Structure formats: structure tokens, C-alpha cells
Structure 1
Amino acid sequence: MNRGYTIFISFVVALGGFLLGFDSAVISGAINGITMQFNMSDWELGFSVGCVIFGAMAGNITAGPLSDRFGRKKVLIVTAILFTVSATWSALATSYIEFVIARIIGGVGIGGAILIAPIYIAEVAPPKLRGSLVSLNQLNIVIGISVAYFSNYFLKDLEGESWRWMLGVEAIPAFIYFMALFLVPKSPRWLIQKLSLVEAAEKTLIKIGGNEYAISTIEEIRRGIAKKENKGTFSDLFSSRMRTIIIIAFGIAFFQQITGINAIFYYAPTIFEQAGGSTDSSFLQAIVVGLTNLIFTLIAIRLIDRLGRKPLLLIGTATMAIALSMATIAFNNASYNLNSVNITKVKNIEIKSAISNLKGEIFNSQKELFSNVEPLLNETQLHEFKRNEVKNFISINANLVLIAILLYVAAFAISLGPVMWTLLSEIFPGNIKGIAISVVGFFNSLVSYTVTQFFPWELTNLGPTVTFAIYAGMAILSLLFVMKFVVETKGKSLEEVEELLLLD
């Protein structure tokens, strides 16, 4: 068994996961820059961040059929091109429309990479290595998120428009990915199933596992083709027999995103600034968030087959509810001090002059502060105060906010993050698995978009206390859902899971 060669080609393909994670998180550092550059409203900011998910939906829908027709390798090469174009164009964008289009192009790459990279790795990896090698993709996603936070921190002080460098630097690993993909072979299973090119497939299989492995694998592929079962349809997916499976799948897909994880990843520095942190400290805290996500993803990979899916979900969702409640309490207990030092931090001269009438006042809640400031400002000024200036006056237990966010990310990383995709791969019957995961993945992306679109508006208009209270409520509901509906699949064959869940 040529482990080195197999690991190498799997690692190259899994770089698509790295780019996916990097692309998802790098926007967090550019938010202030793009907001000022394109004069964005809260809704425009939410869309510019979340529109990447629309592209991902398109990539999800088209990547599977295209990879079946043209091959896994060619589709992955296209995703590398899309990542490169998106990074370069978004960094050079001169208008809001251009920026959004560039982001959507990157989203298409994300949708293709998240679907095709694991498929390719699963098709080339020997059975004994398949689980660990496929997990390289998920691991690389998390590494990409962490590297994006580090990159943002080191680029934030560049003179000029640092946000352009933050976004543009992604073109470097994207181009490396593009070049490296030419070093990997086409999927041997695809070559046999779609083109009947047995000799070409055999050469790759020999390099992976030797002559005996190549012969046995080719025979296995041929047997699979010979006894190929009828392909399931969309109507089969929503038949009465599938009711239990549909409840579990759509419920987990909903709660994975509605509890706010992408709001944390996309807006981490913004959240820490809301807690009164400086720009430097906010970017450093975002790095810690990324590292926490990485460490606990590694723990989840180790525990998922030992402890089980449902126990991890129960522990994780309960801890998420506690962590989000802690953040809610921290913001709820904050006070707002309009002393002379804090007032001098206000950048807008007209706002600074107007609120000087409140010098020396201390308010016990954001709501109380806004009700006193509102009569002094016009509508535009009030919105700017809520959005950009309120952070200058907050007095809060910032350590409690940081601990709450880190605890939340850790809990997500050992539960809803990795377990959802594992469950989806296990609970659907084989003949309908492809279409089922595409449909549920599309729904999951739609919920994710909703969260990222509304988050800036929620922070400005509802405030962080109510925003985190909503997420805490959703985490409690997710815990109750797991307790009532999710079944344990650890140690069961796919056939046993099917017998357990399909209704007669």
C-alpha cells in the first residue's frame, strides 16, 4: 500500500476545503473597510457577506451533475479558477455591484469544493484509510478559517485600503491549488463507471495499492455497476416512509445554522468591538476563536466513533445554550458611560456635539441610552450612532463575552458542526442519498444566508442582548429536538440504520 502517494493526492484535493474555510472567514476582517468604501446600509452589508451562500447553492446544485459528466478533477480545477477570480476581483472592486458579483463567484467555488472534494477522496482512498482521509477536507476547512483570522490580523495595519489585501491574498493559495490539481490523477472509479477506461484506472490503482489491490478494486467497481439499484426520485424523498428521516435531516440542518455559528465566524471582530474591544484586540480574539474551532474539531473527529453521534449532539447543544446565555447576560448587565473621555472617541462631529448635552450620564441598558440619545439626533445620525459609536461608551465584562464565544464555538465544533454531515451520510438510503444530501444541503445554506443577512440589522436595531438571547433560545430548542428525534447510528451498518428509520 502506497500510503504516501494516497495521502499526497488526498491532501492536494483537500486544499479545496482550506480555500472554502479561508473564503468564509476572511470577510470578517474586511467588514469595516467595505462598509465605508461602498457606503453600505445594514441590509447591503448583510447581503454582501451572505451572497456568497447564493453562489454556494448554485455550486451545490451544478457540481454533482458536472462532475459525473466531465469528471471530479476537472470540476475541482474549475473551483480553483473561481476562487482565484473571486479573490482578485473582490480586492479590486470599485463598486458595490462588482463586489457582490465577485463574492458570488467565490460562492460557486465553495459549493463545488464542499461537494466534490470529499467525493474524490472517498473514491481514491483504500477502505482502511477512507475515514481519516475524507476527514482531511473538514479539517482543512477549519484550518482555512484560522489562517484567515491570522492573515487579517497581520494585514489590518497596511496603509491604504487594507481590506483589499485581506481579500486579495486568497488568490495565492487558490493559484497554488489550481497548479497542484494537475498532479493528481482522475478518479479511477469515475473512469470505469463513466468512460469504461479500465487501463487508465488500473494505473492509478496500482500506484495507490499495488497489483492485487487494483484487480480487486476493479472487480468491486464492476460488481457495483452490474447490480446498480434503481435511482431514487425527488418524490421518493418526501414519501411517507421517509418521514422520520426527513424530520431528523431537516431539523439538524436548520438548527446547525439558526443558532448563529456563521454570524460568529463572519462577524467575530465586530462582535468583540461591540463589547468595547479595540481593533487590535478584536482581531486577536478572532484568532483565538479560529484556533478553538480547530482544536475541538480534532477532538470531535476522535470522539464521533467512540462516544457516538447523539451524545456529542446533546453535550454540544446544551453547552451552546449555556454559552449563548452567558453572552446575553454579559451584554444585558453592561452600562453605558457618557463621560468626556468616551465622547471624544466619537468620530462624527455633529453627533459628538449633540450628545455632549448628556455628558456625565450613565445608562444601565442600551435601550435606555438610545431613548435618551434619540431626541438629540436626526434619523441618519441615530442610525450611525447605533451602528458605529455605541461601542465607545459600553462598560462590560469583556472577559465573560470572550469566554462565552469560545465556549460556544468549542461546543459547536464537537457537535452540530461535524455530526450533521456524518448523520446525513448515514440516515438516507443509498439509492436516494445523492439527491437527499443536495436538497438538505441547499436548505442548510438557505438558513445560513438568513442568519448572515439579518445579523448586522439585529446588532444595530435589536442590540447584542436581544440578538444573543434569540440564538440562546434556538440552542435550547435544538437540544430538545436532539433529545426527542435524533437516533444513535454509531456501530450500526447502513442497512441497520435504514431498517431502524424507514417506516413500513
Structure 2
Amino acid sequence: MAGKEDFTDIRVADEAQGDVDFSNNVSARIINPPAGIPHDVLLREVEDFAATYDLSEIAPLLKKGALIAQNPGDFDDVEGLADDEREALRNETNPDYTRNLWLVGLINAAPYIASAFIGCWLSDPLNNYFGRRGTIFFSAVFCLLAVLGAACTQNWWELFICRILLGIGMGSKASTVPIYAAENVPALIRGGLVMSWQMWTAFGIFLGTCANLAVYNTGAISWRLQLGSAFIPAVPLVVGIYFCPESPRWLMKKGRYAQAYKSLLKLRNHPIQAARDLYYVHAQLLVEHKIIGNTNYAKRIVELFTIPRVRRATLASFVVMIAQQMCGINIIAFYSSSVFQQAGASVLHSLMASFGFGLVNFVFAFPAVWTIDTFGRRALLLFTFPNMAWTLLAAGLCFLIPKDSSAHLGLVALFIYLFAAFYSPGEGPVPFTYSAEVFPLSHREVGMAWAVATCLFWAAVLSITWPRMVAAMTPTGAFGFYCALNILAFFMIFLWVPETKQRTLEELDYVFAVPTRKHMNYHMTKSAPFFFKRYVAFNRKATLESLYQFDHVESDATRSASLTAYDEKHGKSEA
């Protein structure tokens, strides 16, 4: 009986559409079979179809699909369609949808592309001719004018050009500011002060989320206000850098020792400290000059990979920088609003959730001011990466919770916030601090350029690929992919990243003189077993011998006391 009703309905459709000769289609007409069938007939036919083929569970969805199939161009008029269903159909009918995904990613990535290939590598010649302060001023001008230009653009390629110019400023700034900070502060607090770069970067991200909320519902100009508002932080940088002293180490590199001493007087509490640091740095410069000598820019780039001491710093800085992208932080920083929208939030709620992410990212950066110089760079990384892995995986799995559940969006946001809380005191501040201190002065600018270019190049790759990745893999798959990268980064750091806390920049020459193989062997055969005994087996008597042995020169008084004690002991033995 069902078959007879099917043929009857087909005849109704044939009468509405006219007979077609499939052997000779003279009119060249392409008939849509469901077109013209009355809705009640069509829906009854779908019910019979679902019953015949055991598809009753999806019968409501099939009915909507059949109504859409009747007139695909007018799917907006079909009653009962959910917003995500309309969006999927709208994207399907847009021939530029896939291309637009890549275009959005490309424009977002433009500053990072320019930084990685232009801005970072400009920092060495800029530092050579203009010093640290001059390079920072140059960078700040680009960061100021480029964002104002972006707010006035009329098409995508003008916006792309402005963001390329922004990237030139970003790259030279990111390659210089951490070096400038590292060279100016004492070793005991160097990490805490240099990491302020990352803390205020987090503050900038937070201000960006505030700006997005502030211009919400301002109409067609909202995106212009969002882009243009980024000029505000550049203004104090342009003005403030004028009042800062030049790096003493850069001045000494240029032979300007009297000026270097004046800078040290501003940077130290007492002239004796300034005098000590002036001569200590000078003595180390003489050692570096004997080993490395003066080389041109191109040769210094090659020497990043050929001189053993420099090569080990290059490897370590590469690991901590690429790990910052492997952890996945920028999929949230770049696309936080869209991530929360995919979790079912409205536009306003997604902006508010992004604001929460920015706030957590900034607030939890503060503990690193103390922990980076107490626990150390390496220890913070090894602690935070496993925690970032499980929180990212948990956030991805929460996307599987039905969107109509009240727990869906709340749990996604919770685990993203926990991820940011673990990131901010660890992988957030360490990479730029670490990379600014590991290279000798002779290769510091070009080494930092290499490190920052590594970070920002992969940030560009992440920014370009994320929209397409999440479309192809779903949020759960994409988050799971970055969870696996967190685990891989943990082992890379364990094997190849030495500790640098509370060592002068000159002492680090000796740290990175230790062969990579010896460093790996020490941590696999001694450090890892110690950790297991102490923190898993709770053996409080477990000890770990140090990999590094630093020489200390005895004072005359100490040496005299030691000799007296020896003579007394020797005399008693003879007696």
C-alpha cells in the first residue's frame, strides 16, 4: 500500500512539473523532483519514507530537509529551522565560504607574518645603529600609526597592508624590549622584571576584550573602533622611552664606557654596585671576544647554529618559543569570541566570556613576578604544561555536551579559564624572559630575533589554520590536537631547556657550555629518578647533585681563616 501511495505522489509531481524525456531533453530544463508537491503530501511521503527505511528517529529532521529541498534558495522561509541550521545552509550557498575562512585567518595572522620575516630581523641592524631605546621608539611609532590606519581602511587588502606594517613594529619591539630589560636588572630579580613584558602583554589582551565590549552595538563602525583602540597603549611607550637610560651593556659593546657607567648609576642603588657590574661585564666581553670575535650580521646568523655555546642557546630558545604556540593559548587569544560562540553563547555573552578570559590571563600573570626567580624558568614550564594539556582536553570534551544543556557553555568557559590560569604564570612569561638572557652579548640581538621570529611565525600558522581546522575537526578534535602538542612540548623542555634562574648573563656562558648530550643524560638518569623518589615515593631523604659547579673566589680574610684552621688541624695531628 505504501508503494502505491508513493507512485501516486510521484504522478502528482509529474503533473505539476510536466513529463520529461530523458532520452531527448530539448528544452534543457533541470527539474527539481520535490518542487510543486503540496506540503501535506510531501510530509506524508517523508513519514512513509522514514518508516520504510527505519529512519523514524530522524523523521522531524527529514521533514525540514524535504521542505528545504523543495526550494533551496528560500530556506530562510522554512519554519522550525534552528540558527545553526540556517548558518550551515547559508555557508553552503556561499561559494566563497572556504576562501573566506582562509582570508580571515590570513588577515589575523598578517602582523605575525610581518614580524617573523621582517620586524624581528630588523632589530639587529636597528639596535646596532640606534641602540635599545631608539629601536623601541621606532617600533612604537609603527604600533601607533598602523592601527589608526587599519581603522580607516576601505577593503581587505588595505587592512592587510596596515597589519603588515603593525607586524614590523611588533617584531622589532618584541625582539628588543626583553633584551633591554634583561640587560638592565640584577640577576636575582631579572626574571621577575623581564617577565613584566608578558604581564603587560596579558594586560593588553585584557584591554582588547574591554574595548570589544565597550563598542558592542555601535553599528557598522564597531570593528573600526576595535582596531583603532589599540593605539592607546602605544602612546605612553612613544613618550616614556625617552626618559629611560640606555642599556649599559650595549654602550660598552660600542666602547662608550663613561656613558655605560652613568646608566648603571641610574639602575643600581649604589656606585659600588655600578662599578662592580661595569668591570664584570667588561671582563666577560673580553672572554667572548677571544672566543667569537667581531662578525658581520649574516655571519652571526650562521653562527647561531655553528658555535656550540650559541647553538645550545638557539635550541633552548627555539623550544620555549615554539612551545608557546604548541600550548594553544593563541587559539583562545585570537578567536576567543568565536570559540565561545561555537559553545552556544550569544554575541554579547561570547564577548563577556572573552572578557573573563582576558582578566584571568592578566591576573594570574602576577604570581610569576615572584615564582620565576624562586622556582625557576624550567620548573614553571614543567609544572604548567601537563596542567594546560588536561584543561584543554577537558574544554574540548565539553563541546560534546548538548548545547541545550545549561552545563555546556559553563563548563567550556570553566576549563578555558583554568587553562589560562595555568598558562599565565608559566609558559606565558618564561619564553621572552628566557630568550632575552640565554645568548652572549655578541649574538643577543640576532639570537632574540631568531627566537621571536620562531614564536610569531608559528603564531601566524596557528592564526591562519585555526578557522579551517575547527571547521574540519570540530572544536573537540582541534582542542584535543593541541592537548597532544602540550604533552610533546613538555618532553622537549625536559630534555633541551637548562635552568637560568639567579645567574648573571655572563655566568650563563658557562651553563650553555655544557654539551646537550650531558644535559639530557643528567635529567634522564638523575633528575627524573630524584623527582620520582621525592614526590611520588615520598622519600624525603632523596637528594639531587647539581649539574653545574660555579667557582667562587675566596677573599683574603676567608683564605687566611682557612689556612689557620688547616694549620691548627695539621699541628694537632702531628702532636
TM exceeding 0.5: yes
> How far has the Cα of 1:50 moved from its partner?
0.5
Match of 2:52 in 1: none
**C-alpha distance in structure 2 between counterparts of 1:488 and 1:197, whole Å:** 31
- Correspondences of 1:171-190 after superposition (within 5 Å): 171-190=231-250
> How far has the Cα of 1:92 moved from its partner?
0.4
**C-alpha distance in structure 1 between counterparts of 2:124 and 2:397, whole Å:** 45
Residue type matched to 2:134 in 1?
K
> How far has the Cα of 1:276 moved from its partner?
0.8
> For 1:276, what is the secondary structure of its paired residue?
coil
Q: 1:245·1:502 contact (CA, 8 Å) conserved in 2? A: no
Q: 1:142·1:290 contact (CA, 8 Å) conserved in 2? A: yes
> How far has the Cα of 1:86 moved from its partner?
1.0
> How far has the Cα of 1:162 moved from its partner?
0.8
> How far has the Cα of 1:126 moved from its partner?
5.5
Q: 1:258·1:448 contact (CA, 8 Å) conserved in 2? A: no
Match of 2:394 in 1: 326
> How far has the Cα of 1:450 moved from its partner?
0.8
**C-alpha distance in structure 2 between counterparts of 1:181 and 1:252, whole Å:** 28
> For 1:157, what is the secondary structure of its paired residue?
coil
Gap regions ≥5 residues in structure 2: 1-93, 519-575
The Cα offsets for residues 242-272 of structure 1, whole Å up to 9 and x where unpaired, read as 7766654434333320232111101111111
Residue from 105, 110, 115 that aligns with 1:51: 110
Note closer, same or farther for the CA distance 1:87–1:455 as it changes in structure 2 (3 Å cut). same
> For 1:415, what is the secondary structure of its paired residue?
coil
Alignment coverage as a number of residue pairs:
411
Match of 2:223 in 1: 163
Q: 1:152·1:283 contact (CA, 8 Å) conserved in 2? A: yes
> How far has the Cα of 1:305 moved from its partner?
2.8
Residue from 223, 226, 237 that aligns with 2:304: 237
> For 1:462, what is the secondary structure of its paired residue?
helix
Q: 2:123·2:445 contact (CA, 8 Å) conserved in 1? A: no
Residue type matched to 2:413 in 1?
L
Match of 1:10 in 2: none
Match of 1:69 in 2: 129
Note closer, same or farther for the CA distance 1:80–1:321 as it changes in structure 2 (3 Å cut). same
Match of 2:342 in 1: 274
Note closer, same or farther for the CA distance 1:404–1:90 as it changes in structure 2 (3 Å cut). same
> How far has the Cα of 1:330 moved from its partner?
1.1
The Cα offsets for residues 10-39 of structure 1, whole Å up to 9 and x where unpaired, read as xxxxxxxxxxxxxxxxxxxxxxxxxx9x99
The Cα offsets for residues 207-248 of structure 1, whole Å up to 9 and x where unpaired, read as 555655555555556545555422584444334957766654
Match of 1:437 in 2: 448
Gap regions ≥5 residues in structure 1: 1-35, 338-393
Residue type matched to 1:282 in 2?
S
Q: 1:331·1:396 contact (CA, 8 Å) conserved in 2? A: no
Q: CA RMSD in A?
A: 3.3
Note closer, same or farther for the CA distance 1:470–1:151 as it changes in structure 2 (3 Å cut). same
Determine which structure has more spread, i.e. the larger CA radius of gyration. Answer: 2
The Cα offsets for residues 148-202 of structure 1, whole Å up to 9 and x where unpaired, read as 111221122224311111111222332333233333344454445436373x555
Note closer, same or farther for the CA distance 1:491–1:117 as it changes in structure 2 (3 Å cut). closer
Larger helix share, 1 or 2: 1
**C-alpha distance in structure 1 between counterparts of 2:315 and 2:264, whole Å:** 40
Residue type matched to 2:130 in 1?
F
Residue type matched to 1:281 in 2?
H
> For 1:417, what is the secondary structure of its paired residue?
coil
> For 2:345, what is the secondary structure of its paired residue?
coil
**C-alpha distance in structure 1 between counterparts of 2:320 and 2:510, whole Å:** 21
Match of 1:457 in 2: 468
TM-score if structure 1 supplies the norm length? 0.72
The Cα offsets for residues 299-321 of structure 1, whole Å up to 9 and x where unpaired, read as 23322232233432232111111
Residue from 511, 514, 521 that aligns with 1:500: 514
Match of 1:421 in 2: 432
Note closer, same or farther for the CA distance 1:431–1:473 as it changes in structure 2 (3 Å cut). same
Q: 2:174·2:452 contact (CA, 8 Å) conserved in 1? A: no
Residue from 194, 206, 209 that aligns with 1:134: 194
> Are residue 42 (structure 1) and residue 109 (structure 2) matched?
no
**C-alpha distance in structure 2 between counterparts of 1:251 and 1:292, whole Å:** 25
Q: 1:320·1:412 contact (CA, 8 Å) conserved in 2? A: yes
**C-alpha distance in structure 1 between counterparts of 2:337 and 2:276, whole Å:** 53
> How far has the Cα of 1:413 moved from its partner?
1.8
Residue type matched to 1:320 in 2?
M
Residue type matched to 1:273 in 2?
Q
Q: 1:275·1:396 contact (CA, 8 Å) conserved in 2? A: no
Note closer, same or farther for the CA distance 1:241–1:219 as it changes in structure 2 (3 Å cut). closer
Residue from 153, 163, 180 that aligns with 1:103: 163
Larger RCO: Structure 1 or Structure 2 (Cα < 8 Å, ≥ 6 residues apart)?
1
- Correspondences of 1:254-333 after superposition (within 5 Å): 254-333=322-401
> How far has the Cα of 1:326 moved from its partner?
0.8
- Correspondences of 1:367-446 after superposition (within 5 Å): 397-425=408-436, 432-446=443-457
> How far has the Cα of 1:473 moved from its partner?
1.9
